[in-house]
Amino acid sequence: MIKLDTIRSDKIWGYENWIASTHPNGMQKEFYDFAGGDYPLLVKVIQADDTLSVQVHPNDEVAERLENCRGKTECWYVLSARKGAQLVYGLDDVYSPDELRKAIEDENLEDMLFYADVHAGDFIYIPAGTVHAIGGGLRLLEVQQSSDITYRLYDWGRGRECHVEKGIACIDESGIQDIAPFDGNFECEYFSLEKISCEGSYESSVDGADAVLYFVLDGSGKINGYDAEKEDIFAFKKGEVLKAEGSIILMKILPNL
């Protein structure tokens, strides 16, 4: 078992903390060694003080053909949200590529976007092809395929490079789901999430599994008697049981490939 150090990346809109990554653009060498090489997921905490660009990610087929990399399906769990916080979750209607190009050129794509109010505890699934943007005032846990490919469609007049043709070609909003408070479990082709409340103790067998990630959503405690402030980490072997002691809420994250 290891505790991972985060990799911080400052942005014009806030920052990202890459908290579990073997991707070359943010490699945690200790995690790469622990996982036995490339890990199929990348987990981040995103702090959005301002709105991110409107963007879309390619699926596996398109990403392999255009960029020689994985596609990028992801999801968000809202850790905190200021009053009135919103995000963009898809388009508000069906538009042709020409209509989208013209709106981007005329700098009024915002009139074609669907805006959703979100609150702490909400869950948002972002399959590849979904037009999206994180609004200011949000802090999110993001679980995604291990890919750093983004096509920026629109940047609210901030002047950064956009990838209009590639982005429009990727749009596929057939996988959009309702935004709602996380019900405790989610599974898709690429990853599974489980929210776990630990009162007293929690045991989890990892025998035969890929590296399992645990993100502490709330609370504090010890893992098999390990206190991060005072003790060296206890070395686990495959097949042993992880026990969390204390009052903690965890997000358990597993790859499905």
CB 183 within 8 Å of CB 223: no
Q: How far apart are CA 156 and CA 81, in angstroms?
A: 21
Pairing of strands 14-20, 113-117: unpaired
Q: Which residues pair with 105 in a beta bridge?
A: none
Catalytic residue among 8, 70, 152, 160: 152
152 is catalytic: yes
CB 177 within 8 Å of CB 123: no
Q: Which residues pair with 45 in a beta bridge?
A: 17, 141
Measured CA to CA in angstroms, residue 110 lies from 57, 86, 157, 245 at distances of 18, 13, 11, 48
Which DSSP state fits 6?
P
Residues designated catalytic: 152
